[in-house]
Each structure stands twice: as C-alpha cells, then as structure tokens.
Structure 1
Amino acid sequence: MKYNRHKTTPAHIGDITIGGDAPIVIQSMTNVDTNDIEASVAQILRLEQAGAELVRLTAQGTKEAKALGTIEAEIRAKGAKVPLSADIHFNPRAAYEAALHVEKVRINPGNFYDPARKFQKINFTDEEYRAEVEALQSNFETFLRHCQAHHTALRIGVNHGSLSDRIMSRYGDTPSGMVESCMEYLEVCHRIHFHDVVISIKSSNPLVMTETVRALIERMDQAGMHYPLHLGVTEAGNGEDGRIKSAIGIGALLAEGIGDTIRVSLSEEPEAEIPVAKVLLHCVEELAKATPLDFSPRCQPFRSEEKPLVMMDAHPHFAQLHPADRPDIEVTETTPFIRITDQEALSGEVPELPEGKQLVVRLTGATAPTLMLEALDHTLSLPYILEVDCTQHSLEELPTWLGFQLGGALMRGQLSGLYLRRHEEDALALCSIAFGLLQASRRRISRTDYISCPSCGRTLFDLQSTVAKIKEATKHLRGLKIGVMGCIVNGPGEMADADYGYVGSAPGKVDLYKAKERLKRNIPQEEAVKELIELIKANGDWKDPE
C-alpha cells in the first residue's frame, strides 16, 4: 500500500498548470470590495507574498468585472505573476466581461443560467426537463467559445447549498444532485474539447464533500473525463474548528491522491489561509515519501457504533472544564486499557482483552499515519483507541496535521477513541483538538457548530468581529448549527445545513433565518446578535450558560 496521485488532464491558467503532473496549487480569495482597486491590489500582493499561486476576486456585476482589468494591469506593473480568477454568481454578463480581463472565471452551475432559486419544488415532465438542460447547455457553449477566443480558463464550482430549484426538484439536496449539476456543464466542455477547466464540489460538511467528490470522479471516469479537481470545505469557519474541518475534508481526499488545487476557506484574513494549506501539502509530500506497507487483509473493516472516547494524561486543570469538554478517561496509575503498537496490531499480535479493558493502538511512525490506519482497517477486527504522539508538531500546526492524518479514518467510523499525547502543559489544548476532530467528522457532537463564510467583496458587514460576537453569545448551545453569511447572494442556500442563520441583506442590515425560512428582515447590525438570541429562545433551542 502506498500513495498514488489520481491522474487528471492539465488545465492552463495564465503561467501556471493545474492537474497532470503539476504540483498541487494553493489558492485564496480577496475579501475587500473589488471596486476598491488600491485595497484589492494590496491584498493580492500580500497573498502572493504569503504563497498563494492563484487569487480569486468577486465580480457580482459588470462594473466589478471591468475593475478586474485595472487590478490585473496594476499588479503586473508591480511585478506580480499570480493569475487572477473572477468569482461569478447569478450574472452571465459579468462572466463574459471578466473573461476579457483575467486568466480564469469561476461559475456556479446552481445559479449561472438557471433562475434564482426560490426553494420551490418544480414538477417537470421528462421532456420539459430535457429541454431545460438543452437550453442551458446551448447557452453555456456560447460562453465557452467566448472563453476559448480569449484564452480564459474556467472553474465549474458546485456548492451544496446553491443547487438550483430544477436540480433540487429532481435529485434533492443530495450528492447525486451536486454531481448531476456539474456533469451537465462538463458534457459541453468535453464535447467541444475545452480543456482548461477545473472542477470543484464543495459543502460545509466534510462527509458530504468527500463523498460527492468521489462520486464525481466515478462519473467522470465512466464518461472518459479526467478534469483536475479543486478541493475545499466551504464555510468552514475560523480558528481551530475551521482548520480542523478544512483539514479533515481536504486532507482525506489528498491522502487518497485526489486534488490538484486547494483553498482553505477561513472566516479570517485571507493571508491566514496560506499557512494551513502549506501544512496540508507538506503532509502530502511526507505521504508520498512514506514507506509502503505490505500486509494481508484479514477481516472486514470494523465500524464502532459507540460514541468515541477522548483519553488524556491526567491534568489538574481538567476539573475546571465543563463536563462535556472533559476527557472520558484520565490516565492514572491504574489504567482501564491494554496498549500495543501499530506494528503488533498489523501482524496480528493482539492480546485477548479482559472484561472492562479497552485496546489502545500506538502509532510508531513506521510509515505515514494515513497508510497505517488504512492497513489497520483491514487487519484489526476490534474497536480501538488510537494513541498519537504529537510532540513533533507545533500547537499551531497540530489541528491541521491531525485533521489530515486522522480525518479519513474518523469519517469511515474506524476509531473508537483518541489519545493525543504531548507536553503536560498542553493537555487542555489537546483535549480541545480531540473533541474538535470528533465534531468535524460528525462522530461526536460536543459543541456548537458554526458555518461561516470566509467573506469576499460582497460581504455587507465586518464578518470576523460578527462571528466572534455570535460565538461568544452561543458557544454553550451544544449541537446547534448556526450559519453566519456575509451576503444574500449565497447566504440562505450555503447555510442550508444550519439550524439558524445570520445573513447580510444590505449594508449594515441583517436577515435572520430558522433553517431556510427568513423570519426577520433588515435588522440593524448592532441589534442583530440580540435578535438572533431572541429567535433561538422563541423556538425553544436556548439554554442559559451553566
């Protein structure tokens, strides 16, 4: 068993190549107004300096699309080589204009030609549905010819929360709907031999995102298509949780050899995304160099239905934590477990467990953790807690590193617990990371889940400070999902997985949602957090902090 990269055809974007044998490309997106030329240029230059190899800017209208030409000229005058991409929603005219000025245009199949969604079911006959698709493909071919004429590359970017009413009516809010939405456009690219195209399928749920990307690859393979893939977990949030969620989704696919370009979407300054992406790519480099594993499968993969445990070395500060945040096992003089190494587990040297004892398997570093965990999945038929030595990585990098290494196994349901080890003073930090890993992989919900966009030039309020305020007010509402979206363009759809939503509707104004239903409109931003709390209370989901 060893790492093998999924083969794709190369796409050329300016002076860079995505796919084929090219290195995996790191990209990001500006979060300032595209009409603010000076701010946009400055941010692009900072991103390139930080290590971004492609930068995307929003172009919600033709005015912003034309501004891209000025921005492009100014960054080239300052010596920047990074190619630019225009981000388009709901406005084909803006896409046509942007294709004249930048190296790449991103469109969203959910809102490019299909009408703006109203979250309504439409009852098409098969003939009517076919006619809709044919009209869409005809219009899209015209746009592709325009891109070909101007040597402009394309990204077809499907988002889980912005599928059209047409797709939703036939396929539902499902991975198959996302795949179909993408394939309708790819069929045209394939037919007219448009090769400079990259595909992305994103969700705020890492499990949905990884499942859908794999399904898309299968469909493309069946159709003889091998377009390069852009990976990302959309609306991942910020801080430790945002890094873990991104690393689990992106990392699980990268470890399988899938992915040609990545973007870590954080509700922070875009420059903060680059170091996280670099850690992920370093993990890929280490995986590619790792010692291959030779083993004979002995069993079907074991899947634990129990709530995964968190185990930690005993620390006096654990007593200060809320019970839901404390480890289930604190390691003391008498321990309720038996420890073996991964090598012993792989070779079948597993002792019989006395009643009340749990098995702990310690990673030894004999090979990459992702390879070892995949091998153990086919050789160990018992539930086990995974012990990981974290001393070789900084606390700053650890959430990303662990997300990459353990994400695939956790999402498979493979592990029955985590035992992270580092220095004694890091016990509380490790405990938080362990619970974060279980939360992001949907194995154990122990905290509030936030779905927040990374912000862009469309954002109608200070997203970073708003997310911080909402987190402070609601962090005790364990299990609740709250979406914080910068604008109305994608807000209601992109937070489709959330229980409550906070969406910018106009400068300084906010709409509040319960699921997809808008219940409060145009609330002044300074009152919106308080109104959100009142909405949660009115629906019976509020609990006072303990």
Structure 2
Amino acid sequence: MLSQYTTHKMWKSLRPRNCSQSVLKMATGAVPASFTGIKSRDHHGLGFAISPEFVKVSNLQRVKFRRTKVTVIRNSQNPGSETAELAPASEGSPLLVPRQKYCESIHKTVRRKTRTVMVGNVALGSEHPIRIQTMTTTDTKDVAATVEQVMRIADQGADIVRITVQGKKEADACFDIKNSLVQKNYNIPLVADIHFAPPVALRVSECFDKIRVNPGNFADRRAQFETLEYTEEDYQKELEHIEQVFTPLVEKCKKYGRAMRIGTNHGSLSDRIMSYYGDSPRGMVESAFEYARICRKLDFHNFVFSMKASNPVIMVQAYRLLVAEMNVLGWDYPLHLGVTEAGEGEDGRIKSAIGIGTLLMDGLGDTIRVSLTEAPEEEIDPCRRLANLGMRAAELQQGVEPFEEKNRRYFDFQRRTGQLPVQKEGEEVDYRGVLHRDGSVLMSVSLDQLKAPELLYKSLAAKLVIGMPFKDLATVDSILLRELPPVDDNDARLALKRLIDVSMGVITPLSEQLTKPLPYAMVLVTLKELSSGAHKLLPEGTRLVVSVRGDEPQEELEILKGADATMILHNLPYSEKKTSRVHAARRLFEYLSENSLDFPVIHHIEFPSKIHRDDLVIGAGANAGGLLVDGLGDGILLEAPDQDFEFLRNTSFNLLQGCRMRNTKTEYVSCPSCGRTLFDLQEISAQIREKTSHLPGVSIAIMGCIVNGPGEMADADFGYVGGAPGKIDLYVGKTVVKRGIAMEHATDALIQLIKDNGRWVDPAAEE
C-alpha cells in the first residue's frame, strides 16, 4: 500500500494543468486525508475529484486486468457522455488513473511533436532528423587520444559526442579538447557526462555544449539500496536540497546557452526515490521530474529527457510513462532514447532494436544512442540504421485503418498467452511440443537440408543420440517446409518423421499437402483458403496453421471465430511501404482479445534477399520485439533467403530472451565503456563470456565502474565491477561479497562465486 504522501505526489504529477477542462480527475481505493475536495461516491470507497463540468459517475464495473470503466455524464451546457478507462498507476498500486495517451496515434506511426532544443549547432526535436550519438571511451585527461577518437566518431557521421567528466582534472582537459577540435575544424557538439559532481558540471558548462545530469546521483548520495522512512517534511527538505545544488548549474546553462539532458538510469535511482516508488518506471519518471520542475521554475527549457535501463521492457515502459505524464502536464521536451549496458555484437544490437525500435514505431524519440561494448565508432552504423527505420516509418506514417484499442497494456508487462496445443483423442503423434510455453522459435527448412539429416538436426540445435534427434533447451520448436519431398523420397520423409516423433511440428502449405501428403504435418492455410473451405479436402483432424496479415477487413477476420487452428502466423510482407506490421499486429491482437480467441500467434517476418545483417536484426527487434515487449505474441519465425541458418536461429532465440521470455543462454549486462572504466571492458567481457556462456538462467553483469554497477545489476545474479584500478569487486545481486580482487584472478573468483551459490554446471562435452 502506498503511503499517503506517495499517493499525493503521484496525484500531483498526474494532475492536468487546466483543471477546468478535465472531467475525471482520479479514483483511488481509499481517499487520503491529504486530498481536499474529494468525496467518496459509493460504498466501495472509490473517490473522485469534481470539476465544474462534472455531474456524476455511474456504471462502475470491474473489467479484466483490474481496470475500471467509468461513464462520465456531463452537464446540460456540454451534453453527452464519455467513458474514461482507469488503470492502476503502477503494478499493485491502489491509485487508479485515466488510461493515458503516450503516442500521437495507436494505428500508425506519427512523430510526437516537441519543442526544438539546441545542442551547440545541432537542433533536436520533431522538426528535425533523429540525431545519432555515442560516447568516448578514452581517458578524458588524455586530450590527444580523446580528440582523435571524437574525430573518428564525427567522420563516421555522428551528430553529437558525449565525454565523461568525473573530476576537476577532466573538466580542465575539456577546454583543451574543445579548442583542439575547433582548430581542426570539428564543430561537433560535445556533451559532458556528470555523476556525483555538481562543481565539475559548473566548470565544464563553460566550454561544452550540453550537460548530462543523472538525477539519481547529482545531488543525492550514492544509493545504498536501503528502504528509508520519510515524513512529508523530510521529503520536502530533500527536494529543497536538490534545488539548492542544481540551481547554479541551470543558471549557468542559461547564461552560456547550453543544453541539458536530465538522464535517469534505472540502475542509479536514489534511495529516496526507491523508498517511495520502488525500483520502477514510475520512480524513474518522478526522479527526472524533480529536476525538470526546477528547470521550469527558473524558466529554462533547453533540455531533453532520457529513461535508460538495461532491460528493454523496463526501458519501454519508462519512456511511455514519461510521455504520458508530459502529455498530462502539457510538456513537449524531446527524448533521447537508449538501452544502457546492452552488451556487444548481436546481443547488444537486438536489445537496442527492441527498446529503441519499439518507441520509434510509436513516433517517440529525437536522438538515439546504441550502447555497445565495442569501439564507439562501431555504434554509429547500427544507430543510423535504427534512426532511418524510425524516420521512414514516420515520414510514410506507416499504419493501418483506425481501430479502437482496449486490451494492450502500455505501462506494465502482462503477456497474452495463447492456448498451447493439447493432445486430441485419437492423435497418434504428440503435438504438445510444437510450441514452447515461454516463446517458440520456428525455422524455414529447404529440401536441400533434408539431404543431410544429421546436419539438419544439428542446425535445429537438436541433441543427437546415435544419430537420432531429441529436443534440447534451445532446439527449434517447429519447422516450415514450403515444399514437401516427393512421396517416394523415403530418406527425406524418414528424416521428417524422426522430427515429428520428438514433437517438432512440420508445417507445409495446403497445396503441398494435398498433392504430396506428409503424415501428421500441420497445414498452412490463408484466410481465403479457410473461407473457401479448401481445407476440408484434408483428412479429418488435420492440424491447421492460419496465415493472417492483420490489416484485412473485419468481415474477413470473422472466419477465425469458427476456426480450429493450432496457431496463427502473423505475416505482413516486409516490403509493404504504407502498412506497418506493428500496428497491423496490434489490430489483430485486439480483434482476438475482443472475441475471446486464444490462438497462439507467431510473428512471421520474410526479409528480402541481400538484406544487411544489422538491418535484419534491427527489423526483427523493432517489428517483432516491439510487440513481444507488450506481451503480444508467442514466438518468432524469421526467413531471409541468403542468410546463414544458424544466424537466423540465434537471432530468434536472442529476440525472445531480449524480450524477457525464453531464456536459453547466459544473460549478460555489459556496459559500453567510457572514460570511467577501470579495465579493458571488451577483453574482459570476451574472457568471461568464453567461460560462462553455457549457463542458461544465470545473469552476469560486467560493469566498468561503480556509477551504474549495483543498480543495473538489479536483474543480474552476479556482478563483476571495477572498484579501483586493477581491482575488481564481485557482487551477488546488489550486495558486494568480495572486494579488491586482483584483476588476473577475478574471472576465476567469479566462477567460484557462481559455484558457491549452486548455479554452476560444467560445459557439455563436444559431440
């Protein structure tokens, strides 16, 4: 139960600026004494604030997902009624708030309108391209190395570069860095990254174009992850302290025309915020708003927000809640998007694509950074590809015909789980394993692959015992075979039978099954084939898989109400210009929910030939991950004619794991490195991954310094954190258990720590 003061604070942040224009203010399970002018309206204890237009509330009824619908009846001067939908302000909260708008349109990509913020000579905001940026990894005191790295980054096409500035020596070096770059005709805007050091921020604001402040540690002490008790007076004193510390920087930014980013990190919220709001998106938003209110009080508006987290699901929820709150308040500040500590290689790219891509498809985001544990220059290309995806979707306003959306959860994750296959009476094979409860991976298989069965089984990640396949932890669940082998190709058909015998689904088109029937295959049909009754030519009891675009007219979808389908493949051609597969899928899920249809839905994406690998990963992350983070979908099927089979399989499993669904390998939270990093992050990360990558269900954080260390390890089981030069601290969760371990012994000590906690298994022997 939230404290009275917490509820009061949340209510204040949700209150519209112009109260006379708002009909429904709030409803809460109990009316706090601190609220004035609120009356309990019924014996259930629900209370409502009343505006001049408000007459009464009626038709109060509980609906699924703990929401409440309230019919608001207006007075005679403004006749008619409307329904406002209420939902908990956060998971488990007794505070019910109106279902908030977080994007311009739910049925197409429309870029959110923002003010323009100037960062040096670069304009940020909705009237400008999505800007791309990265961060240096050099020691800031090494002026020559930092200048060289900034130049390489600028040459790759970055719009903005951030540099860590942790102390006075680094701040002094910033003047030389700026001057040297100007002399070399590099005018790229520079951003100072500040933690724990208000005096340093004041100093560097005299030369850099933008200051990034972390509201979790700019004026607050380093979080100890303690639950603190506050009276309203205590809390107010803390806010006054923040204002006292922060005001000089705001005034200086105004004086010099600097920009600012109020950049919340999920991993570095203050104890005060966590005590009131928990380690939550709500806490992230309120942490930033405390600083934003000071800026506004001082009439400073040249700032942007960010809400970063290493968990893409948390990150998406936080940004959405931020925008929803800004909409209520009438604020229009731009957004800097990023998934922090995303990692390296494909893992880092897929996490960034899920988080950033999801928001871009909703028209959110004005500048982005892809945080990779790689050289900063390597971040620019995937960053540009993501920005291009977002700009293209917004320029074309990709979407579908308008529809009413009632069931999707915007601000908290609740998965819509399709009904997994159950065994039917008389079936001779087991279909229960053709989908996985935590998310399924389907793969398209060719006739050529059937010519070498054992290689096929291995490529599907099946376990082989005397040449026979068996399903393992990360084995493909079902395959799509667009062409069946001839009826007399006994070897190929035997290979398929062995897969079917271990409950791997084999899906084939209706035309193939009618001409070259394969026993126990599941048959792929279109809505048109389903409507025409062509599937009735199949033997009774044949399992059906239905392919749906999602943008069909409502009357064409009606056939699904009477269908007996094992699953739906949502498949909208990737080449579609104006139609968005994200919005088409949302429309499909809305139809299924409204009609109580619980078919599992697999996101089927057919990529064009010669697509770049990064574009494929980013496309899958934005178009399928953007749905899975909302709990919409039960699996993934990626096709690309000239891409490596193993790459597609790994991308599929990585996508599910990145969306916090199916965990099939060790999860890493790895920071991208910066001037604070106390060891070679890329080298150590590779070393740890080599020795621990076989531990599915185990999460390891590899952090270059303490700034985000313990906090970003909220989701991690174990942490490897730079504590001092050449020294490593080891964590279990957020608790440090070993300090000052010499770096040459730290990886072995981490492995021993995993063993001591009963989470270690020896790697499987090579077959």
TM-score (norm 1): 0.95
State the match for 1:303 in structure 2.
416
1:185 aligns with 2:291: yes
SS at match of 2:714: coil
Alpha-carbon separation, structure 2, partners of 1:531 and 1:421: 42
Alpha-carbon separation, structure 2, partners of 1:490 and 1:262: 19
State the shift of 1:425 in Å. Answer: 6.0
State the match for 1:531 in structure 2.
749
State the shift of 1:122 in Å. Answer: 2.0
Measured on the aligned residues, the alpha-carbon RMSD in Å equals 2.0
1:330 aligns with 2:542: no
Matches within 5 A, 1:1-400: 1-288=107-394, 289=396, 292-294=399-401, 296=403, 303-304=416-417, 306-314=437-445, 315=449, 316=453, 317-320=455-458, 321=461, 323-332=472-481, 333=484, 334=518, 335-340=521-526, 341-343=547-549, 346-347=552-553, 348-349=556-557, 350=559, 357-364=566-573, 365-366=575-576, 367-380=579-592, 381=597, 382-392=599-609, 393-400=611-618
1:452·1:467 contact (CA, 8 Å) conserved in 2?
Answer: yes
State the shift of 1:300 in Å. Answer: 5.0
1:56·1:84 contact (CA, 8 Å) conserved in 2?
Answer: yes
2:624·2:636 contact (CA, 8 Å) conserved in 1?
Answer: no
2:216·2:269 contact (CA, 8 Å) conserved in 1?
Answer: yes
Aligned with 1:415 (options 633, 641, 648): 633
In structure 2, relative to structure 1, the CA distance for the partners of 1:149 and 1:303 (3 Å cut) is same
Q: Which moved more, 1:261-270 or 1:188-197?
A: 188-197
State the shift of 1:222 in Å. Answer: 2.3
Letter matched to residue 210 of structure 1:
V
1:248·1:403 contact (CA, 8 Å) conserved in 2?
Answer: yes
2:108·2:362 contact (CA, 8 Å) conserved in 1?
Answer: no
1:265·1:454 contact (CA, 8 Å) conserved in 2?
Answer: yes
Q: Which moved more, 1:356-365 or 1:59-68?
A: 356-365
- 5+ long unaligned stretches in structure 1: none
Aligned with 1:470 (options 688, 691, 695): 688
TM-score (norm 2): 0.69
SS at match of 1:42: helix
Alpha-carbon separation, structure 1, partners of 2:232 and 2:315: 29
Higher RCO (Cα < 8 Å, 6 or more apart): 1
Alpha-carbon separation, structure 1, partners of 2:724 and 2:301: 39
Per-residue Cα deviation, 1:175-223 (whole angstroms, up to 9, x for no partner): 1111111110000111222111111111101111111111111222222
Runs of 4+ in 1 over 6 A off after TM superposition: none
Letter matched to residue 293 of structure 1:
V
Alpha-carbon separation, structure 1, partners of 2:200 and 2:332: 28
Alpha-carbon separation, structure 2, partners of 1:110 and 1:118: 12
Alpha-carbon separation, structure 1, partners of 2:129 and 2:405: 36
In structure 2, relative to structure 1, the CA distance for the partners of 1:51 and 1:362 (3 Å cut) is same
Per-residue Cα deviation, 1:468-521 (whole angstroms, up to 9, x for no partner): 111111111102110000012332222222110000111111111000111111
Q: Which moved more, 1:24-33 or 1:365-374?
A: 365-374
Per-residue Cα deviation, 1:299-337 (whole angstroms, up to 9, x for no partner): 956922542211112345452236223210123444424
SS at match of 2:476: coil
1:461·1:504 contact (CA, 8 Å) conserved in 2?
Answer: yes
In structure 2, relative to structure 1, the CA distance for the partners of 1:420 and 1:20 (3 Å cut) is closer
Alpha-carbon separation, structure 2, partners of 1:223 and 1:355: 48
In structure 2, relative to structure 1, the CA distance for the partners of 1:277 and 1:524 (3 Å cut) is same
State the shift of 1:352 in Å. Answer: 7.0
Q: Identity rate of aligned residues, in percent?
A: 42
Aligned with 2:709 (options 477, 491, 494): 491
The structure number with the bigger radius of gyration is: 2
Letter matched to residue 105 of structure 1:
I
2:350·2:658 contact (CA, 8 Å) conserved in 1?
Answer: yes
2:108·2:399 contact (CA, 8 Å) conserved in 1?
Answer: yes
1:401 aligns with 2:401: no
SS at match of 1:396: helix
- 5+ long unaligned stretches in structure 2: 1-106, 409-414, 419-436, 463-471, 485-517, 527-546
Alpha-carbon separation, structure 2, partners of 1:154 and 1:528: 38
SS at match of 1:510: strand
SS at match of 1:495: helix
1:440 aligns with 2:652: no
Q: How many residues align?
A: 546
Alpha-carbon separation, structure 1, partners of 2:271 and 2:122: 36
Alpha-carbon separation, structure 2, partners of 1:20 and 1:363: 28
State the shift of 1:19 in Å. Answer: 1.3
Alpha-carbon separation, structure 2, partners of 1:291 and 1:92: 44
Alpha-carbon separation, structure 1, partners of 2:254 and 2:397: 41
